[in-house]
Structure 1
C-alpha cells in the first residue's frame, strides 16, 4: 500500500462534501504515471482544503493506494516525498485475556475517556465496571432541556454529567493537536463510524458530528461494551475511594455500596468538583493547572462566511465547504493572551451549569451547522502562579466565584448576563438587542459585563476584539452579543500520574484519565487518553498474574 499526498483538485468539480471519485482517479493515474489496469484500489485517507487563494480554492487529498508493481513505482519515485509506503494505522491490543479478573477494573465516568477505556478493556476481555453519576443519554437530554426551557437544574444530570460527557452537548469536534504516534486517534474515529457516525469523519481534515448524532452513537457504544461483558451503572456517584498503604482497594458509592477493585480509572469530567474535593481529602496528589475565562461571542454566521471565504463566497461554496469558522489569538498589552475557544459555526450558546445558583456558558452545533449565528468562546489564559496561588483547588473556587457572579448579574434565574459588543467596547450597559438575537436559553439579561470578570480579563478582551476584526471583517459588529461566563475551558486541576505506568504518582491502582484529570481537551484527545489508560490497566492486570 502506498500513501500519496498533495493531490489537489478544484472544489467546483465536487458535489457538496462528497469526494470527486472520477477526478481523483484521473489525477492519481497521472501522478503515478500508470494506466488504469495497474490501479487495484484506492481510498481517501485525508482531505483538507487549500484556501490561500480565495479565487481558486482546492481540495487537497492524501490517498492510500494499492497498485501492481508497487516496488517498481517506489523505486521510480524514491526522491518524491509525496509518494511513500503507507504506514500501518491499525489498532493492536497490548494485552488480552480469555478469563476476566475476579476483581474487575472499575471506571468512574462515562464521557469520551471513560467510554474508550471501557471499550478497549471490554474488547480485550477484561469486563470492566463503569460507574456514571448521571443518567443514560436520552434521559440526560431531557434533564438538560429542563434547564434550557424551564430554568430547572438537576445537579446530577445536565450538560456536564451523564452518559457521553460534556462533549455530547458541543460541536462534536473530532480533531486535536496531540502527538499520536500510535494512531490511537484513528481507532477512536473508526469506533465512532462503527457506532453510526458518517464515514466522512475518517478523512475530512476537521471532522465533527454534532449533538443529535452523538446521542445514538453513545448508545451503540454502550451496547457494544455490555455485549462484551462490561457493566455500566448509571446514577452511581462515587463518594469515596478506599486506599490502604497507598494502594486502591475499593470505591464507595453514594448509596453506601462498596465495590472492591485494584484498578480504578478516574475518568470524571472537568466539572466533577465534589470528586476533586474527595480526591484531595484522601491525600491523592493533585495540583492546580492553568485554564481560561471569558465570554461567548455571537455574530451572524453570514458575516463569518463572507469574511473567511472572501471573493469566492457563494451559496454553492457553502454547500461544499460548510459554514466557515475561525481561530484567533491576541497577546494583550497587559501580558495576557486572548484567544477564540471551541468555535461553533452555525451553532448555539448553551447553559452548561452543573451546580445550583451558578451560570456557565458553552457552545454547541448540530451536524448541519445551519443555525443563524456563529459563536465561540473569547477567553483569557490564567495561571495558578499569577491568579490563584496557594491551594490545589483554588482555581476551582475561582470558577465558582465567577459563575456565582454571573448568576446574580443575569437576574438570579439562570438567565445569562449579556452585552452588545459595541457597548462592551465603550463600557456602557446594554439595554436592547439589535441585529443579533442571542441563542442562549433560558435567556440573556442585558447588563454591563465589566463586573462579571476580573479587570485584567475585561481590558484584554476589549483590546482583542478590534484586533480580531482586522482578521475577520465584522468581528467587532456593534450588535454582536457577548454572553457570560465561559469558565470551563479545561480542568482547573491535574491529578498527576507517572509517565510510564499512568498511575497516580502516590496512589497505586489509581489511573487519572481524560479531561477532568488534566490530560485531555476535547472528545478526540479524551478518547485517545482513555485508550492509553486502558492499555496500562490491561498490562498491569496481566503482569500481576
Structure 2
C-alpha cells in the first residue's frame, strides 16, 4: 500500500471529497484507486488560517511500483508501513493439556488487561487476580464515596476491573516510542470491544468513562472465552520465592496459588503489595514523581484562548492544553492529565486521605476544564529507601483530608487568593466539580513550601500562554499525588525482575508506563516476554 501524508481538506468537507483529493494529489484516474483508509486525522486551527483537517491516508492502487517511482522525491508519498500485529508465539502443548503452570497476571487495569488478552490470544489461558470488583459493582462503590462520603478501600477509583484508567478521560495517546505499532494493537482491540472507530485515526483519541465500562466487560469475556480466568476480590498479600525463582502467590483467605510466571500489573496505588514485594526481597528503587493540585476553569475560556474564532466548533470539540514552567527555585511545574469538559473526582484508596484526579466523558461537554498543576520531585525530597515515596504521598493525602474538614471533602482555594497568600471564603464564577464537595481554605500548608512557591510563580506565567489561566475565580483543589508510581520495580532486558526469575514488573505500578495507552503497550510487551520464556 501507499501512504499519503499532509492531505489537507476544509473541515466541513463531504466524505467523498477525500477520494477526490487523493486522485488529484496523485494525478490518478478513478479506475486505478482500489481502496483507501484513513490512518490519522488532525486539524489546523491556527487563528489566521482557514480551519482544515490534515489527513494521513493509506491506499491500494494499480501499478503501485510505477506510481511510487513517479513520486520518489516526494516525502509525502511513501510505501505504507506494516502496522498489523503479529503474535510472537503459540502456547506449548503442556499449557493446553494442563501439565504446565499457567501464567498469573496480578491486576486488571489497562496493563493487566492487555497482558492477559495477549496471553489468552496466544493460547496460554492466563489466571488474573484482581483485588477489586467487576467494573459495574466497582462503579457503585465509587459513587458511594462521591455521593455518600463512604470509602471502600478495596473498590474505588484505584482498585477494580479496568484500573484507574476507567475513571479518567480515557486518553489513548502517548509520547512513547512504538516502532512495532503495539499502540495500534491496543486501539484496534478497543474498537473491537465497542470504542468509536474514529479513535483509530484522530490525532488525540479518547473514549470517556461510560464507554470504557462496556469495553472492559467485552475484553474480559474474550479472555474467558479463550480459556483464561478472571478472579475478582483476590487480594495478593505475599509471594513464594525459592532460589530466586517465583513459585507461587499468596492470596488473602485462600491457599497459595502455584506459579512460575507472574505479571505484576499492579497500578500505582497498590501500596500494600509494594511492601509485600519489598519484604520478599524483590529489588526496587525510588523514582521521581509529581505532586500538586487540580485546577478548574470554564471550558469556554480554554476554548477561546486555544482556538480563537474556531472555539465551539463541534467538529473540533473541547480544547485541551499542555503547559510547563521552570520556576526560579529549580522546580518544574507542568499540567498533567488535562480533562476538557470534565470533572475533578475523589480518587482516594485509603481511609482518611484525600486524593484528586480528573475525568471526562466521551462528549467532554461539562462546563469546566480541569488539569493537574503539579511539581516534579525526586527521591532526594523524600529520603528513606524504595517505599519512602509512599509515605510522602500518605502524609500529603492525610493533610488534605484534615484541611478539607475530615469528611472526604477536598481542600480548595481560588487562584487569586492562592497567589496572594490568603484563605478563600466563597466561590466566584467557577464552581468546583469535585464530589463529595470542596471546603475552601488556605492551601499553603497542603504541599511542601517549595511546591507552593513554584506553583504560585507558574500560574501567572501560564497566563502568557492561555489568557485567563490565572483568573481570580479559577479553583484549585487538593491534592494530586498519584501522578505516577513513586517507585520502580526494576526489570532487565528480558522484562523479568533483576533478582527474581519469573516475576515480570509491568505498567504504571512498576514504573514503566503512564496512561492507558502506554500501560496497554507495556502489557503486550510483557506478555510476549512471558510467552517466549515458556518456549525457551
Alpha-carbon distance in structure 1 between the residues aligned to 2:66 and 2:280 = 63
Q: Among residues 84, 88, 92, which one is paired with 1:90 in the alignment?
A: 84
Q: Which digits, 9 at most, give the CA deviation of each residue in 1:226-273, with x for residues without a partner?
A: 000000000001101000000000001001321101000000010000
Alpha-carbon distance in structure 2 between the residues aligned to 1:362 and 1:474 = 22
| Maintained 8 Å contact 2:344/2:433 | yes
Q: Among residues 495, 505, 511, which one is paired with 1:502 in the alignment?
A: 495
| Maintained 8 Å contact 1:341/1:377 | yes
Residue of structure 1 equivalent to 2:487:
493
The answer as to 2:19 corresponding to 1:21 is no
Alpha-carbon distance in structure 1 between the residues aligned to 2:235 and 2:211 = 27
The answer as to 2:134 corresponding to 1:136 is yes
The answer as to 2:363 corresponding to 1:368 is yes
The answer as to 2:408 corresponding to 1:414 is yes
Q: Among residues 362, 374, 380, which one is paired with 2:375 in the alignment?
A: 380
Residue of structure 2 equivalent to 1:73:
67
Q: Please identify, of 206-215 and 32-41, the stretch whose mean Cα deviation from structure 2 is larger.
A: 32-41
Residue of structure 2 equivalent to 1:211:
209
Alpha-carbon distance in structure 1 between the residues aligned to 2:209 and 2:177 = 26
**Structure 2 matches for 1:238-257, cutoff 5 A?**
238-257=236-255
Q: Which digits, 9 at most, give the CA deviation of each residue in 1:198-237, with x for residues without a partner?
A: 0000000000000000000000000000000000000001
Residue of structure 1 equivalent to 2:51:
57
Q: Label 1:54 to 1:515 Cα distance change in 2 as closer, same or farther (>3 A).
A: farther
Q: How much has 1:389 moved relative to structure 2?
A: 2.0
Q: How much has 1:22 moved relative to structure 2?
A: 1.4
**Structure 2 matches for 1:23-422, cutoff 5 A?**
23-97=17-91, 99=93, 100=95, 102-313=100-311, 315=312, 317=313, 319-385=314-380, 387-422=381-416
Alpha-carbon distance in structure 2 between the residues aligned to 1:309 and 1:509 = 50
Q: How much has 1:78 moved relative to structure 2?
A: 0.5
Query: Any idea what SS the aligned residue of 2:277 has?
Result: helix
Q: How much has 1:53 moved relative to structure 2?
A: 4.2
| Maintained 8 Å contact 1:377/1:486 | yes
Query: Any idea what SS the aligned residue of 1:320 has?
Result: coil
Query: Any idea what SS the aligned residue of 1:114 has?
Result: helix
Q: Which digits, 9 at most, give the CA deviation of each residue in 1:435-471, with x for residues without a partner?
A: 0110000000000000100010001001001111111
Alpha-carbon distance in structure 2 between the residues aligned to 1:69 and 1:259 = 58
Over the residues paired in the alignment, what is the CA RMSD in angstroms? 0.9
Q: How much has 1:48 moved relative to structure 2?
A: 1.0
**Structure 2 matches for 1:446-525, cutoff 5 A?**
446-499=440-493, 501-525=494-518
- Extract unaligned runs of 5+ from structure 2: none
Query: Any idea what SS the aligned residue of 2:315 has?
Result: helix
Residue of structure 1 equivalent to 2:530:
537
Q: How much has 1:54 moved relative to structure 2?
A: 4.1
Query: Any idea what SS the aligned residue of 1:192 has?
Result: helix
| Maintained 8 Å contact 1:54/1:309 | no
Q: How much has 1:98 moved relative to structure 2?
A: 5.8
Alpha-carbon distance in structure 2 between the residues aligned to 1:483 and 1:140 = 24
Alpha-carbon distance in structure 2 between the residues aligned to 1:287 and 1:413 = 34
| Maintained 8 Å contact 1:55/1:311 | no
**Structure 2 matches for 1:426-445, cutoff 5 A?**
426-445=420-439
Alpha-carbon distance in structure 2 between the residues aligned to 1:176 and 1:205 = 11
Q: Please identify, of 171-180 and 97-106, the stretch whose mean Cα deviation from structure 2 is larger.
A: 97-106
How many residue pairs match? The answer is 532
Q: Which digits, 9 at most, give the CA deviation of each residue in 1:70-116, with x for residues without a partner?
A: 11110100111111111111111111026325211000000000000
Q: Which digits, 9 at most, give the CA deviation of each residue in 1:391-432, with x for residues without a partner?
A: 111111100000000000000010000000110010000000
Alpha-carbon distance in structure 2 between the residues aligned to 1:496 and 1:357 = 31
What's the TM-score once normalised by structure 2's chain length? 0.98
Alpha-carbon distance in structure 2 between the residues aligned to 1:9 and 1:490 = 39
Alpha-carbon distance in structure 2 between the residues aligned to 1:57 and 1:518 = 40
Alpha-carbon distance in structure 1 between the residues aligned to 2:309 and 2:37 = 32
Q: Please identify, of 319-328 and 20-29, the stretch whose mean Cα deviation from structure 2 is larger.
A: 20-29
Q: Please identify, of 283-292 and 90-99, the stretch whose mean Cα deviation from structure 2 is larger.
A: 90-99
| Maintained 8 Å contact 2:45/2:310 | no
Q: How much has 1:51 moved relative to structure 2?
A: 2.4
Alpha-carbon distance in structure 2 between the residues aligned to 1:108 and 1:405 = 31
| Maintained 8 Å contact 1:55/1:312 | no
What's the TM-score once normalised by structure 1's chain length? 0.97
Alpha-carbon distance in structure 2 between the residues aligned to 1:442 and 1:424 = 22
Query: Any idea what SS the aligned residue of 1:343 has?
Result: strand
Residue of structure 2 equivalent to 1:17:
none
Alpha-carbon distance in structure 1 between the residues aligned to 2:402 and 2:271 = 21
The answer as to 2:422 corresponding to 1:424 is no
Alpha-carbon distance in structure 1 between the residues aligned to 2:451 and 2:47 = 36
| Maintained 8 Å contact 1:2/1:84 | yes
Query: Any idea what SS the aligned residue of 2:88 has?
Result: coil
Alpha-carbon distance in structure 1 between the residues aligned to 2:424 and 2:91 = 63
Q: How much has 1:311 moved relative to structure 2?
A: 2.8
| Maintained 8 Å contact 2:299/2:367 | yes
